[in-house]
Amino acid sequence: MANLKWKTPRSKTRSRRAANWKLGAVTTVQCPQCHQPKRPHFACANCGTYNGRQVVKVQDEPAG
């Protein structure tokens, strides 16, 4: 393999490695029951339903 003429500068290496560390925004869809945003393929955090049936007990008001 041919030799590289210049080594990759430290700044370029570090910049490349730093480009992928941030987390993106969480994808949400609207809950068909309560119309609150929820994560797709997850039970709704607000009403506790998934696919039209209750799968998680819902507390009235989370303490704290």
**Residues in the site for Zn ion, rule: CB under 5 A?**
31, 33-34, 44, 46-47
Question: For residues 36-52, b (16+ Cβ closer than 10 Å) or e, as one string?
Answer: eebeeeebbeebbbbee
Q: How far is the CB of 61 from Zn ion (least distance, A)?
A: 16
Nearer to Zn ion, 12 or 29 (CB): 29
The two structure tokens encoding residue 7:
């080594």
Q: How far is the CB of 57 from Zn ion (least distance, A)?
A: 13
In angstroms, rounded to a whole number, what is the distance separating the alpha carbons of residues 15 and 10? 8
Nearer to Zn ion, 33 or 51 (CB): 33
